[in-house]
Amino acid sequence: MTIHSIEPIRLICSDVDHTLLTEEQQLLPMTEATLRRLQERGVKIILATGKNLGATRAIADRLKLDDPLIFVNGSLIQYRDGKIFSQHELQPEITEQLIQLGESQGMDMMLYVTNDIFVKEGGKYSHALDKYGGPKPIELKDWQDMGANLAHILKFVFIDEDFSRLERMKVILEKNISNGIELCFSLPILLEVQPAGVSKGSALEKVAKLLELPREALMAFGDGNNDIEMLQYAGIGVALENATPELKNVASHLAPSNNEEGLARFLQDFFNLQ
């Protein structure tokens, strides 16, 4: 693999699950060592994930990632010490509408605020994301038990192992909510709803401007459809072999799978680290 870039790459942005980590949620030694070597060369490393800081703090601390990190698919840009750079919330009336539409279809839902995740008690799929680590969701008897948090939702998630139900839910949302939201299937079991204009790509653009880096100096890695805008914005966008067909279609390059430490292998070749 020989890759040329006119602008030296000065920042690497990586998705976490199924990209930086293996299917067993492990950061393998070669990947960690590769990232540390690049940091020693002055290359910045940041994360862009659908999760929150609590779910990724161990990785951020382990790699000493002190630049702004992208959480909740771009709704939140936050430093690992908790300081918030930017935050985007769904309009409260849209949150209320999403709850009503979801309940009318008997959907399991998950609501994200800055530091917590809320689910309804007794949900069939409410703990489907436990294997991805991080703080356990707070279980509620009624959504109104969220109190003031209900007006500050960063991301609204519908969960179902039957993808056809999620597809139908997407159609219902598009029919009933004409603007103010972005929809994405981040995993085959998740339909995620973000504020309009929010994505990992828009967040990466904000971070790049803060750090005074041109997009040509950015490299991004991902595997899911919620990584599309991020790979499109970066000067070099890399999809792993385990990525969705949609992401591979927009990527400028492909790398081996996450279980093969594809991110590290690509970086070793690109930066001639062997």
For residues 64-81, give the mean pLDDT: 97
CA distance 215 to 9: 9
For residues 86-107, give the mean pLDDT: 97
Task: State whether CATH 3.40.50.1000 applies to domain 11-86+199-270.
Answer: yes
pTM over 0.75: yes
pLDDT the model gives residue 6: 58
pLDDT tens-place string over residues 233-250: 999 999 999 999 999 999
Phi/psi region, residue 87 (left: phi>0; alpha: psi -120 to 50; beta: rest), is: beta
Query: Sorting pLDDT into bands at 50, 70 and 90, what band is 1?
Result: very low
CA distance 112 to 100: 17
Helices (H), 50-160: 53-62, 92-104
Percent of the chain with pLDDT over 90: 89
pLDDT the model gives residue 132: 60
Residue 231, H or E segment: helix 228-233
pLDDT tens-place string over residues 107-116: 999 999 999 9
Domain with CATH 3.40.50.1000 in the chain: 11-86+199-270
CA distance 184 to 87: 19
pLDDT the model gives residue 128: 65
Task: State whether CATH 3.30.1240.10 applies to domain 92-195.
Answer: yes
For residues 62-73, give the mean pLDDT: 97
Higher confidence at residue 70 or residue 188?
A: 70
Mean pLDDT of the chain: 93
CA distance 159 to 165: 9
Phi/psi region, residue 109 (left: phi>0; alpha: psi -120 to 50; beta: rest), is: beta
Residue 263, H or E segment: helix 262-270
What distance lies between CA 214 and its chain's CA centroid?
22
Q: What is the dihedral of CA 197, 203, 207, 209, to 10 degrees?
A: -20
The contacts of residue 75 (CB under 8 Å, 6+ apart) are: 87, 88, 89, 112, 154, 155, 194, 195, 198
Provide, for the chain, the percentages of residues in helix, strand and coil under a 3-state DSSP scheme, each rounded to the nearest 5: 40, 25, 35
Domain with CATH 3.30.1240.10 in the chain: 92-195
pLDDT higher than 70, residue 183: yes
pLDDT the model gives residue 133: 63
pLDDT tens-place string over residues 128-165: 666 666 668 899 999 999 999 999 999 999 999 999 99
Residue 16 near residue 59, CB atoms below 8 Å = yes
pLDDT higher than 90, residue 72: yes
pLDDT the model gives residue 136: 81
